[in-house]
Structure 1
């Protein structure tokens, strides 16, 4: 599935690999049981698998803001991914990561707008890894932030959106063992005319 997603969008495939690696490292740092670490790593690898079903227009209009219709379609990828994995009898703990990885503690996430007590632990952990990687890599619509800037953004998200303890451990893990390699990158963003 990851390879199929890579055929559609190489950034998303590389992002999934890095998220899986960060999530596994964070789960190990938290001392979670091996089976749970494995579920978290697989959930990280598959968290965006629902993007397989998204319109090619989403992947081809990389330099412009998405229309409301296309944004709604992007917001459906957790639902699509979870349905896809359920159809192949995937472990429910992995399906939950895929379904809930964009939910936020304050209810501002999607697709359901769940609150803190409703979001599964594994999905929250993968969310931390997902956010960190999204901030620290070049994306079609945004340049990567430095590690220090990423830590600052993650600390701002800690509490309202993401669990404080997980964010603190993620920062500690990256300070201790470094960042995951980029593995692949999207085409460079156009530079501003003045430099």
Structure 2
């Protein structure tokens, strides 16, 4: 009787050992399988804004644009200036969606807006505004950094207020200084960084 019980115990132990080995092998197979990596969605570029209808005046404040702007809620990362090898046959690169040339501003419509132009990077890398004047609303609390000529002799960029920017535009309209910008979820500029130009 003891021999039969001993054989039954041995059989149970052998079955448990087989189950443990099988579980370990399945775990190794799952660990060896590569994890699926989700693809990152490309950020949407801002849509074109409405053109300013009236001719510019001699002051920094511009006339009211003909329609409301519809910028996208997010901008792609700032592009690096193009290399000579990326220049097209016309000496230009593609439109830079997060760079604008600031010409003027307008307080009309109850919202402060910058009158701007989009454009392309020419070769070997200077931003060249082109196309119609459009406008983008800017927050009164936007984080703005400026360099020369807004701040003479400043190269690296220092913070200024929205009021300081509009005061400079009052006395220096139509300069077309290039800026990188970012829009918040409401389509309003919340970050504006001047690009230093020698």
Q: TM-score, normalised by structure 1?
A: 0.27
Higher RCO (CA 8 Å, separation ≥ 6 residues) = 1
Bigger proportion of residues as strand: 2
Q: TM-score, normalised by structure 2?
A: 0.27
Larger Rg: 2
